[in-house]
Amino acid sequence: VVISILCPSRERPRSLQRLLESIQATANNVEDIEVLIYLDNDDESTIERDFTNYSFVRFFRGNRMWMSLMQNFLYSQSGGDFIMACADDFVFKTVNWDKIVVSTFASKTDPFWVLYGNDLGVHAGKLPTHFFLSRAWPNLLGTWVHPGRNSPWDLWIFDVARALNRLEYLGDLKFEHLNFRQSKSPDAVADATTKTVSEMSYIVQPLRTYKKLERERRIDTLLVCQAIGERAPLSHMYLLSHI
């Protein structure tokens, strides 16, 4: 397996079908891809036997838990050299996207990069809502995404990679993200799952916790710097330790 796509899903069988169809239709070599899907035990609308046409898919079921924990569980079961954080409301658009991702990583002098494509939404080119990493990155840091309830782990990865100047935006690599708050498509609507997540974010206020964890992101930055043999970037908060 070359690329592992990690995708928690809940009560969205049609969206999941659309996602898998798009992967199969656009991949250069689907045999080198695995899609790992986490379903909640109480999700009766998504039935694994309805997806037997997709040989590259592996399903897992378990208790309902935080999105970040589902992502980390799926990562622990994956075997790809490169990992993608995905969602069931994604549609792969660019033909041979897998070949582009692998060749872009191969062009780098080391594997510590974050690659992300154009999700055709309001954050396109600005924030890697979903991204590709070499397995070397989470192996070094000890986790795939930062755990937490409604954790903004995409922002976490973005901030660390930006501090390291290790972000690469591939504008011609298109994956449409049909999220009702981010997408420009009229097909993006808020369903029950989306509403539940949005309501919980309002209650939990995850960005408040995020701001308090700057030291942990700094540690991630230092570990990657050590791995690539570069000095840590200057930070005003850690100016004394930097000197």
User: In the prediction, which pLDDT does 207 show?
Assistant: 80
pLDDT tens sequence for the chain (243 residues)? 799 999 999 999 999 999 999 999 999 999 999 999 999 999 999 999 999 999 999 999 999 998 899 999 999 999 999 999 998 989 999 999 999 999 999 999 999 999 999 988 877 788 888 899 999 999 999 999 888 777 777 889 999 999 999 999 999 999 988 765 565 556 766 666 666 666 666 676 778 888 888 889 999 999 999 999 988 776 666 555 655
User: In the prediction, which pLDDT does 201 show?
Assistant: 65
Tell me the C-alpha distance between 76 and 103, whole Å.
Answer: 25
User: In the prediction, which pLDDT does 184 show?
Assistant: 57
Helix (H) or strand (E) segment spanning residue 120: none
| CA atoms within 13 Å, Cβ hemisphere of 69 | 10
Helix (H) or strand (E) segment spanning residue 60: strand 57-62
User: In the prediction, which pLDDT does 125 show?
Assistant: 80
Q: What are residue 28's phi and psi, to 5 degrees?
A: -70, -40
User: In the prediction, which pLDDT does 22 show?
Assistant: 97
Is residue 154 helix, strand or coil? helix
The token duo for 119 is: 């999700």
Tell me the C-alpha distance between 65 and 70, whole Å.
Answer: 7
Tell me the C-alpha distance between 130 and 203, whole Å.
Answer: 24
User: In the prediction, which pLDDT does 239 show?
Assistant: 57
Tell me the C-alpha distance between 211 and 40, whole Å.
Answer: 30
User: In the prediction, which pLDDT does 195 show?
Assistant: 65
User: In the prediction, which pLDDT does 120 show?
Assistant: 86
Tell me the C-alpha distance between 137 and 118, whole Å.
Answer: 22
Tell me the C-alpha distance between 157 and 144, whole Å.
Answer: 10
